[in-house]
Amino acid sequence: MASMVDKLRSGTVTTPSNLSRKLKVIGSGFGRTGTMSMSVALEHLLGGPVYHTGQFSFKMKNVCFHNASLDWTLDANHSAILATIKTWRQMLRLGAKPEFIQSSLKSLLAGYVAVTDTWGAALTPELLEAYPDAVVICTVREPNAWWQSWNDMVGMAAQPLMMKIMLCPLPVFRYFPWALDDLWRRFCGHYGISPPSPPTGKEFAQYHIDWLKRVVPPQRLHFFNVKEGWEPLCRILGVPVPDEPFPRVNERAAMRELAVMLTRMVVLRCGLVIIGTIASVLAMILARRLF
């Protein structure tokens, strides 16, 4: 079974070949609950591509670096990725028009058999309306383990303001901190929390579950722990249990790799800016002295 992380790292995430296929599963699990493992399992069981909303973070390394060169221009493919990220941000904003969200979701998810991870989870009510035949599967995890994993991931990142400053020099990545602001505002609006903020404790896991129980019809809502393996998931989907191990994706290692990559790119990009600025100043000084 192909590794989704390998696909994400290489920027070769599976894209739909048949755009007429409809979404069958809305993966409403919060991040760090096994959403990558769930995505790989769904691709296998449903025989089609799964839209994991964390894919942009990994695909962006091919935006910022083309091979080993310092080419920072965006080709048509990368410009399309940028447009997609901007669309997600517009959808996540509080007050976004329902008709815009509906049309955007149907365009972005055309041909995919499932959507998973945090950004999609934030739009669960809209996805329910757009895909009335889809089931909602929320991946869950023991609250303390989830919070430790989430906190570890947050620890790899800078504080929000510093992140905005650090990522500003990077094409496409510079839009992520602002999109995250909109994401947390939407989630906290769902949960009734003020002021809006990223998760601050293990209770957020329960906030999310309680919210889903309020907005998703009981007959369409399912909870699944990836530690349980194939059987519960196959029972939900009404498909045979595969004769192979359930996929176990090391999300933590993938996120650490991404953090190291981003740090390297920021240092290099800022270094080039500083060197360029110094060179320009020296050139101006030299020109004044000579002329």
Q: Bigger pLDDT: 39 or 64?
A: 39
Among 13-22, 234-243, 263-272, the range scoring the smallest mean pLDDT is 263-272
Q: Which residues pair with 135 in a beta bridge?
A: 25
Tokens for 242?
A: 């595969």
**Tokens 């997600």 belong to residue:** 88
Looking at residue 252, what is its pLDDT?
Answer: 61
Concatenating the DSSP letter of every residue in 136-199 gives EEEE---HHHHHHHHHHHHHTS--HHHHHHHHTTSTTGGGHHHHHHHHHHHHHHHHT-SS--S-
Go through the domains of the chain in sequence order and give each one's CATH number: 4-290 (3.40.50.300)
Q: 117-143, pLDDT tens digit by residue? A: 999 999 999 999 999 999 999 999 999
Confidence grade of residue 269 (pLDDT, cut at 50, 70, 90): low
DSSP strands (E only) in 47-204: 50-52, 114-116, 135-139
Looking at residue 68, what is its pLDDT?
Answer: 39
CA dihedral 137, 142, 143, 144 (to 10 degrees): -150
* For residues 274-278, average pLDDT: 55
| 286 CB-near residues (< 8 Å, 6+ apart) | none
Q: 244-255, pLDDT tens digit by residue? A: 999 988 766 665
> Whole-prediction pTM value?
0.81
The answer to whether the CB of 1 falls within 8 A of the CB of 92 is no
Q: Bigger pLDDT: 66 or 258?
A: 258
Rounded CA separation 151/164 (Å): 19
- Among residues 250, 29, 225, the alpha carbon closest in space to that of 119 is found at 29
**Tokens 């993966």 belong to residue:** 27
- Among residues 81, 79, 133, 129, the alpha carbon closest in space to that of 105 is found at 129
Give the rounded distance of the alpha carbon of 176 from its chain centre. 10
Q: 174-196, pLDDT tens digit by residue? A: 777 888 899 999 999 999 998 77
**CB 37: neighbour CB atoms within 10 A?**
21
* For residues 196-224, average pLDDT: 95
- Among residues 110, 127, 134, the alpha carbon closest in space to that of 20 is found at 110
Q: 67-115, pLDDT tens digit by residue? A: 334 444 555 566 777 888 899 999 999 999 999 999 999 999 999 999 9
Give the rounded distance of the alpha carbon of 130 from its chain centre. 20
